[in-house]
A and B are shown apart, each in its own frame.
Chain A
């Protein structure tokens, strides 16, 4: 009985996950047939003209999540170094608790703070560059940075603390100070785990929907003149998730091609996020094992 139940419920979970991936893939087939690979590379999305290109949304997703990573990684890893290496043990639990609480704040709450506060601050901050509104890719990146900060911090803390204390003591015994031990012992030995923390943070940032939806402006077809231009940061745009969360999902269902295009965005998102999370989890686990 017990055995059957365990295998049954595990089977249900695993099959549901696989069926879900398959379902999304199948439902997206019409758009791949219609557009071919240019669905992923085309920058134009005009559903009334049956023209579907996901590139501007992929671009938006990459810009906001990498932007968030650039902002959150130094602070997150810095904070993790402090808690793992310098903070006396009796304060550890308190800081960890704070960080876990922060990680649990719902994204709609971040979105609310973003739309009612952050958006205005960013508008004033960016005033010298003359943005059209406070709904910019930069706003979304800042908000996402706040949201993934706890993820990066707590995973980095785990990674650093999995470096054995004996290694630190050996280095201190040679006369290195705390900082030198961090730089030459802890950080190099935890590097895989730290990289994993950053990747998992990136995965989370890419999949985040609601908060981004509320502050990004949801402007279709924003394609930069140059891929290295910073101009798009102060303009509104669209990410894969903000598109999927919009009312276009409701509109599209009746039309197989349009719906295929919407689900196709989901497939692209799923592939990117799964690869990143898988690689991150793989690194993290091999780090723990060593």
Chain B
């Protein structure tokens, strides 16, 4: 198998004397959907935010272990965390739109990163919105406040905003848990389409979603108060194996 695009080795996160994540080692391959499932509070979001160093913005958390992106440590002295984050985009649980227009939201990243010319912005916006299947719904109200969109549209807007800066990896933190079934379906279809061009790490606690979308799956459960990877591999192996009592309990509980 080819070299993984993202790889963690004995990744541990502590908050003071408390351990949130312990010894996480994962390999995430290019142009696949890597699913992360597990009960609430097991540290899935924490793990996700380690992958683009967004966790550093939360004070008092300490990360140890290695994360490699294209084989190189993301904590290396020469790595620019901001540049890293523009290559590894993130989508949050709740859509976080800026109180600006739809258009301003889509181009927010690319505009301020200064990677493209100002005259090219409308084109970039259209392409990103098309990729996020939002173009047809918003093309007539690009300059209206984004907060007027429905929550489902806002989440796709956030996705478009991330896509606009052409990241290689998109981290998704339970992107559908705040959405209605129809918007959920729209996002799920998008994920299927996007994995042709992007690597996706998808946190979910929806087992059906994980089974349907993920190419590889890891299950994180609490052991001694800290999140650990209980098993990983093909979705059916992870979800069907009865090797760990935690998974069984988790699946039984839904």
Quick check: is B179 within 8 A (CB to CB) of the other chain?
A: no
Quick check: is B3 within 8 A (CB to CB) of the other chain?
A: no
In the complex, which residue of chain B has the Cβ closest to the Cβ of A290? B99
Q: Within the complex, which residue of A89, A166, A174 is in contact with B108, where a contact is CB–CB below 8 Å?
A: A174
Question: Which chain A residues border B96 with CB–CB below 8 Å?
Answer: 166-167, 169-170
Q: Within the complex, which residue of B60, B94, B113, B158 is in contact with A175, where a contact is CB–CB below 8 Å?
A: B113
Contact mask for chain B residues 177-197; partner A; CB cutoff 8 A; 1 contact, 0 none: 000000000000000000000
Q: Within the complex, which residue of A166, A167, A172, A174 is in contact with B165, where a contact is CB–CB below 8 Å?
A: A174
Contact B57 A168 (CB under 8 A): yes
Contact B82 A166 (CB under 8 A): no
In the complex, which residue of chain A has the Cβ closest to the Cβ of B94? A166
CB distance from A9 to the nearest CB of B (A): 41
Question: Which chain A residues border B133 with CB–CB below 8 Å?
Answer: none
CB distance from A242 to the nearest CB of B (A): 44
Question: Which chain B residues border A172 with CB–CB below 8 Å?
Answer: 54, 57, 82, 85
Contact A167 B98 (CB under 8 A): yes
Question: Which chain B residues border A128 with CB–CB below 8 Å?
Answer: none
Contact B92 A180 (CB under 8 A): no
Quick check: is B161 within 8 A (CB to CB) of the other chain?
A: yes
Contact B89 A173 (CB under 8 A): yes
Contact B57 A169 (CB under 8 A): yes
Question: Which chain B residues border A177 with CB–CB below 8 Å?
Answer: 82
Question: Which chain A residues border B36 with CB–CB below 8 Å?
Answer: none
Question: Which chain B residues border A185 with CB–CB below 8 Å?
Answer: 98
Bound CA–CA A170/B154 (angstroms) = 13
Contact mask for chain B residues 84-119; partner A; CB cutoff 8 A; 1 contact, 0 none: 111101101010101100000000110011000000
Contact A176 B113 (CB under 8 A): yes
Quick check: is B59 within 8 A (CB to CB) of the other chain?
A: yes
In the complex, which residue of chain B has the Cβ closest to the Cβ of A166? B96
Quick check: is A126 within 8 A (CB to CB) of the other chain?
A: no
- Which residues of chain A from 79 to 112 have any CB-CB distance to chain B below 8 Å in the complex? 88-89
- Which residues of chain B from 26 to 40 have any CB-CB distance to chain A below 8 Å in the complex? none
Question: Which chain B residues border A189 with CB–CB below 8 Å?
Answer: 99
In the complex, which residue of chain A has the Cβ closest to the Cβ of B96? A170
- Given the known inter-chain contacts A168-B57, A180-B112, please indicate yes or no for A174 contacting B94, CB distance below 8 A: no
Question: Which chain A residues border B85 with CB–CB below 8 Å?
Answer: 172-175
Quick check: is B83 within 8 A (CB to CB) of the other chain?
A: yes
Quick check: is B204 within 8 A (CB to CB) of the other chain?
A: no
Quick check: is B12 within 8 A (CB to CB) of the other chain?
A: no
Please report whether the interface of chain B is mostly helix, strand, loop or mixed according to DSSP.
helix
The 19 listed contacts between A and B (C-beta, < 8 Å) are A89-B60, A166-B92, A167-B98, A168-B57, A170-B96, A170-B98, A170-B158, A173-B52, A173-B90, A173-B92, A173-B162, A174-B108, A174-B113, A175-B83, A175-B84, A175-B87, A175-B165, A176-B112, A189-B99
Residue from B86, B96, B162 having most chain A Cβ neighbours under 10 A: B96
Residue from B86, B89, B112 having most chain A Cβ neighbours under 10 A: B112
Contact mask for chain B residues 67-92; partner A; CB cutoff 8 A; 1 contact, 0 none: 00000000000000011111101101
Bound CA–CA A173/B51 (angstroms) = 11
Quick check: is A171 within 8 A (CB to CB) of the other chain?
A: yes
Question: Which chain A residues border B59 with CB–CB below 8 Å?
Answer: 88-89
CB distance from B50 to the nearest CB of A (A): 13
CB distance from A188 to the nearest CB of B (A): 8
CB distance from A186 to the nearest CB of B (A): 11
Bound CA–CA A170/B161 (angstroms) = 10
- Which residues of chain A from 130 to 144 have any CB-CB distance to chain B below 8 Å in the complex? none
CB distance from B157 to the nearest CB of A (A): 11
Bound CA–CA A175/B108 (angstroms) = 10
Bound CA–CA A168/B98 (angstroms) = 10
In the complex, which residue of chain B has the Cβ closest to the Cβ of A175? B86
In the complex, which residue of chain B has the Cβ closest to the Cβ of A180? B112
Quick check: is A184 within 8 A (CB to CB) of the other chain?
A: yes
CB distance from B141 to the nearest CB of A (A): 21
CB distance from A267 to the nearest CB of B (A): 41
Residue from A168, A173, A177, A189 having most chain B Cβ neighbours under 10 A: A173
In the complex, which residue of chain B has the Cβ closest to the Cβ of A165? B57
In the complex, which residue of chain B has the Cβ closest to the Cβ of A184? B112
CB distance from B16 to the nearest CB of A (A): 12
In the complex, which residue of chain B has the Cβ closest to the Cβ of A169? B57
Contact B57 A176 (CB under 8 A): no
In the complex, which residue of chain B has the Cβ closest to the Cβ of A178? B82
Question: Which chain B residues border A173 with CB–CB below 8 Å?
Answer: 52, 54, 85, 89-90, 92, 162
CB distance from A273 to the nearest CB of B (A): 32
